[in-house]
Structure 1
Amino acid sequence: MLPGVEIEFQNGQLGTVLNRPDGTFGVLASAVAVGTTFLLEKDYEVKSMLDVAALGILPSVGNYRLYKFLQEFYNEVGSGTALWIMGFANSKKVSDFFTPDVTTQKTPAEKLLDAANGAISGLFVSFDPSVDYTPTIETAIDSDVLLALPKAQLLAESYTKTEYAPFFVYLEGYAFSGDKSTLIDLTTKTYNRVGVMIGDSQKRTGTVPSKGAAIGILAGRLAAKAVQVNPGRVRDGAIKSTTAFIVDVPVELYDVGSIHDKGFVTLRNHKRKSGYYFSDGPLACEPDDDYHYIPQRRVIDKAFRLAYDVLVEFTLDDIDVNPNGTIQALSATVIEQAVIAKIFSEMTVEGELSYDPSDTKDKGVICKVDLTQNVTSTSIIKIKQLQVRSKAYARFIEVPLGFVPITSNN
């Protein structure tokens, strides 16, 4: 085994009650090639719609959905943000994007991840199959989405472990039938790196039929904000699109709460506020999973990346030890403080973690080296504690409203 760093995610720490570089994303999309400027299964990095135009991607047959994703992404985030693109033949299904090749054991999605050299922290899928594709509706959505969920989760987990480049995935709830009662309940699943969105900026039966979702808007909203920010945060304002539909029904006329309750990202409106907002940012897992919501997922993934960047510098370094082979306290402190300083400067100071600024010892992060580990005989330094303090989110606000009581003058 090569010398290196191994970091395991903890779960069950938040006690959830039921009642930038980190904004570099990638899109896997059904598409058609455009001459020599845009080839299928080849990686491209763009930073604006000007770059998209240079590739020859237009809102025409074959690339309409991809163009729509890109346009809505840059409408939300603005020019200058890097986005990686890879197009696939419209004969491929979403589950194919995450299915390993029998020879190489590499998934098509990994080609894009590898090309970005670990920079991608989120993958989004824009599906636009050939006209002869007939989705098999199972639990109110295309059954291929159900096949893609565990495959995307497996890839995200394995890539994090082997490449130290954690990421999440958002899929479309493709071909949602509109039947909320039979819709699959994602809150019973265990895919805490994969989410699904239902809801689009155009009608199902519009000029160009749409069975997908406005996932480019979600990607743009997440890319535009720091990792701890919920995509549905109201004070960030409405999404740029002035229309939002569930199948053919305007969002304000559909029971979007039923979609939200089943663990999907969707669109909503707020009374007496104009425009549309995201309902929340869930992933397809139980609500008491620490990483059920995308802000916590992004926060812990950023902390993972930063911790790895620091700790890998200590690989094969010579360490001072005690006579019994355990690491000396001073050497352990050097490691601990290096991790804390990195995360504090790049996350806590940026408002991405909670801490008490009046307490000089509180950095929003705790790092403790195991002083009992025999490093001499095992060649292993154990970090017995690495935790960051998440922000809380006001999903519900309770207000006791009443009249000021009248007091007696006597």
Structure 2
Amino acid sequence: MARPNVTITKLNGGLGGTVTSKDGVSLLVISVDSTAYALGSSSYTGIQLSDFESQGFTKAKDLSNNVLVWEHIKDFYTLAPAGTELHVLVIPATTTFTQLFTVANANYLALQTYLTSKKSLIKLLGVALNPSAAETAPTAGISADLIAAIPLAQAFADNEFAKFRPIDMLLEGRKFTAATMSAATDLRTKLSPNISVMISRDGARQAELVASGHTGSANYAAVGFALGRLAGISVQVNIGRRKDGAIGWTNAHLSAGQQVVLLSDADLDALSDKGYLFVTQDTGQEGFFFNDDPTCAALDNDYCYITRNRVINKAARIARQVYVQELLDEVSVDKDTGELSALTIKTFEDAIKTAIEDQMIEIGEADAIDVYINPDQNVLANSTIEILIQIQPKGYARFLNVKLKLVNPNT
């Protein structure tokens, strides 16, 4: 018998450190009017702000060229933790949103080529402009160029999904101007569930830029900031979740300079109802928060929120990884009916269930998965197996109705 002893086991995980998720890998496309940047370069990649500064993206260069490039990258890493992978693609300042997403345009091809080269690594795409021409104030909230580009951007996203590279996009809603908020374009009518439009910025930071002599900062929206927030959270987390704390701004503006705190509740509700992504403040609570995570799709569309897109896109990537391994493998069919055998069905169902449960459900990104494979499939004739995968996403407490009253225990 061994001597009496005290056994000590060293446990791991108590400090709460996390391995950086690949779900937040992002591409930031920025237009500039400058020879200081290599347009269309594929070499701008990093995992922290200093990586980009060493590649020539600096605060001083932003000022000297009167553009916001370093600014958007800095904003990204304000909320995305160091270690989050970011790619930057620089395009000419003459590029419009519509041109960027028009098939056969040189910048469309540059973006498509970049995403192709990275396979399915890029999950989030943000687009910010530094236009070379003076901007006319829109009459419908956002520019006619951006309004026209939204469905084109969705077509681009659809094409990427078809090529097994699902992405979600944030577009910069520059110089947001409308006679009334009710006159602003209703983004919920645009049938573009993979697209969101960011129209806010940190007013205090913009005032600093102006004070430093940066005249090109008048109309920007903080796309890099919103992109960094998304990149730094799990796919099922709402960008505006209050429990995560205020975002650190002290004076939220819309992109034409309107102070959010001076807008009426009716105005803010109208913007939210119309699917704009912006930063707001809750009565009785300090700090600023994103309003929600809307996309440019109607509320009866399953993908009217960014969280739903990110969850289904992650499930799509997992399904692709699981089932591409089964291509051209032999499958058994029932000797009497010619239908898929019970063993084949169970094998295909268990493979995706295990992957989704391990990579999503066990870490709280979805609540359940159900897989159905109809055995009555003539795989001997058509070599095709149809598989239905149903993911149950998280619900969200968007509205809390509280009933409150005084009572007298003596009555």
Task: Look up the equivalent residue of 1:372 and give its one-letter code.
Answer: D
Shift of 1:213: 0.9
Give the conservation status (yes or no) of the 8 Å contact 1:340–1:367.
Answer: yes
Which residue number corresponds to residue 289 of structure 2?
Answer: 277
Give the conservation status (yes or no) of the 8 Å contact 2:46–2:86.
Answer: yes
197-206 or 294-303, which deviates more: 197-206
Which residue number corresponds to residue 111 of structure 1?
Answer: 113
Which residue number corresponds to residue 39 of structure 2?
Answer: 40
Shift of 1:107: 3.1
Distance (whole Å) between structure 2 residues aligned to residue 216 and residue 81 of structure 1:
13
Which residue number corresponds to residue 16 of structure 1?
Answer: none
Alignment of 1:7-406 (within 5 A): 20-31=21-32, 38-43=37-42, 44-58=44-58, 59-62=62-65, 64-101=67-104, 107-130=109-132, 132-135=133-136, 137-161=138-162, 163-179=163-179, 180-202=181-203, 207=210, 208=214, 209-246=217-254, 247-255=256-264, 256-323=268-335, 324-354=337-367, 364-383=368-387, 385-406=388-409
Distance (whole Å) between structure 2 residues aligned to residue 30 and residue 105 of structure 1:
10
Shift of 1:262: 1.1
Counting aligned pairs with the same residue, the percent is 29
- Give 3-state SS (helix, strand or coil) of 1:249's partner: coil
Give the conservation status (yes or no) of the 8 Å contact 2:332–2:341.
Answer: yes
Give the conservation status (yes or no) of the 8 Å contact 1:140–1:184.
Answer: yes
- Give 3-state SS (helix, strand or coil) of 1:313's partner: helix
- Give 3-state SS (helix, strand or coil) of 2:170's partner: strand
- TM-score norm. by structure 2 comes to 0.86
Distance (whole Å) between structure 2 residues aligned to residue 97 and residue 60 of structure 1:
25
Shift of 1:62: 3.7
Distance (whole Å) between structure 1 residues aligned to residue 312 and residue 167 of structure 2:
11
C-alpha change, 1:274 and 1:396, in structure 2 (3 Å) is: same
Task: Look up the equivalent residue of 2:373 and give its one-letter code.
Answer: V
Shift of 1:368: 1.5
Shift of 1:405: 3.6
- Give 3-state SS (helix, strand or coil) of 2:69's partner: helix
Task: Look up the equivalent residue of 1:391 and give its one-letter code.
Answer: K
Q: Which has the higher helix share?
A: 2
Shift of 1:61: 4.1
- Give 3-state SS (helix, strand or coil) of 1:85's partner: strand
Task: Look up the equivalent residue of 2:343 and give its one-letter code.
Answer: L
Shift of 1:280: 0.4
Distance (whole Å) between structure 1 residues aligned to residue 379 and residue 402 of structure 2:
55
Give the conservation status (yes or no) of the 8 Å contact 2:157–2:166.
Answer: yes
Give the conservation status (yes or no) of the 8 Å contact 2:123–2:166.
Answer: yes
Shift of 1:139: 1.8
Give the conservation status (yes or no) of the 8 Å contact 2:203–2:250.
Answer: no
Deviations 1:238-268 (A, max 9, x none): 1133331123232211232221121101110
Distance (whole Å) between structure 2 residues aligned to residue 257 and residue 232 of structure 1:
15
- Give 3-state SS (helix, strand or coil) of 1:55's partner: coil
- Give 3-state SS (helix, strand or coil) of 2:197's partner: strand
Deviations 1:217-252 (A, max 9, x none): 111111111101000100001113333112323221
315-324 or 298-307, which deviates more: 315-324
Distance (whole Å) between structure 2 residues aligned to residue 51 and residue 113 of structure 1:
21
Give the conservation status (yes or no) of the 8 Å contact 1:32–1:87.
Answer: no
- Give 3-state SS (helix, strand or coil) of 1:87's partner: strand
Shift of 1:211: 1.3
Distance (whole Å) between structure 2 residues aligned to residue 194 and residue 242 of structure 1:
27
Task: Look up the equivalent residue of 1:65 and give its one-letter code.
Answer: L
Deviations 1:156-209 (A, max 9, x none): 001111x21111111122221143232101112210111111111137786133
Task: Look up the equivalent residue of 2:161 and give its one-letter code.
Answer: T
Distance (whole Å) between structure 2 residues aligned to residue 202 and residue 129 of structure 1:
20
Give the conservation status (yes or no) of the 8 Å contact 1:231–1:280.
Answer: yes
Distance (whole Å) between structure 2 residues aligned to residue 111 and residue 238 of structure 1:
37
Task: Look up the equivalent residue of 2:71 and give its one-letter code.
Answer: K
Give the conservation status (yes or no) of the 8 Å contact 2:124–2:231.
Answer: no
C-alpha change, 1:333 and 1:62, in structure 2 (3 Å) is: farther
Which residue number corresponds to residue 358 of structure 1?
Answer: none
C-alpha change, 1:404 and 1:302, in structure 2 (3 Å) is: same
Aligned pair count? 374
Task: Look up the equivalent residue of 1:367 and give its one-letter code.
Answer: V
Distance (whole Å) between structure 1 residues aligned to residue 50 and residue 33 of structure 2:
19
- TM-score norm. by structure 1 comes to 0.86
Task: Look up the equivalent residue of 1:117 and give its one-letter code.
Answer: K
Tell me which structure has the larger Cα radius of gyration.
2
Distance (whole Å) between structure 2 residues aligned to residue 245 and residue 393 of structure 1:
26
Unaligned runs of 5+ in 1: 1-19, 355-363
C-alpha change, 1:270 and 1:202, in structure 2 (3 Å) is: same
Distance (whole Å) between structure 2 residues aligned to residue 63 and residue 82 of structure 1:
26
Task: Look up the equivalent residue of 2:122 and give its one-letter code.
Answer: I
Give the conservation status (yes or no) of the 8 Å contact 1:197–1:215.
Answer: yes
Give the conservation status (yes or no) of the 8 Å contact 1:136–1:143.
Answer: no
